[in-house]
Amino acid sequence: MTNKTDNPTEKTQAPKKSIAREYTEAILIALLLALLIRTFIVQAFKIPSGSMKKTLLIGDHILVSKFSYGTHIPNEIPFINVKLFDDIVLFSKVPQRGDIIVFKFPKDETRDFIKRVIGLPGDLLEVKRQKVYINNKPYQDTHARHTDSPSDSPLVPRDDFGPILVPDDHVFVMGDNRENSQDSRYWGYLNVKKIRGKAQIIYWSWDRIKSWVRFERFGKILK
């Protein structure tokens, strides 16, 4: 009588993946991670205009925190800005006065704008001869940049505006470059659900006039 023994060399091996399949899986995982980071953690933006000069210059590239004011439920098809349903924000927070924010432009949500938060919900806000007043007190607006003298025309809201009461769940935003900014003085309040995130840092900057890198702006914390 003989005993049957297992041959230690006989082991079941999983079939090897092809190189093409391994590369495909790695690319898909990388794309998924990039999408998750872009949606929930941080997103890069480029500054196309001078409305925030001199805080931000044309050609600055910035990183924006996506969770500073709550968690946005994805409602757009990535990269083509096709909206599927209304904005939903979990654990929503109102920005602080002075925050620099990126948001969906209320008149065209396929475009992103960047401005500074000036008025908060419940604020009584007024602009008199370019000077901002909040709750009947002058606002220490250290970031404001003026390139023109105050206009005497009643048709120009940029220099004389209000008084207005900022409603709940909305903020009043303005560009630092006051005479060259399309902001809440022209199109109204911003719903906090439209905020994409808080601008944090400049990671790259290109001077298109000089065709050269602005190395001195790398790593600048935005405030």
Total Cβ atoms within 10 A of residue 174 = 25
The catalytic site residues sit at 51, 115
Going by the DSSP 8-state scheme, the letter that residue 6 receives in this structure is: -
Measured in whole angstroms, the distance separating CA 54 from the mean position of its chain's CA atoms is 18
Closest residue by Cα to residue 139 from 105, 102, 172, 103: 172
Greatest Cα-to-Cα distance within the chain, rounded to the nearest angstrom:
114
The rounded distance, in Å, linking the Cα atoms of 5 and 107 is 78
Sign of the dihedral defined by the CA atoms of residues 131, 137, 139, 140, in that order: positive
List strands edge to edge, sheet with 124-128.
Answer: 137-138, 131-134, 124-128, 161-165
Measured in whole angstroms, the distance separating CA 70 from the mean position of its chain's CA atoms is 13
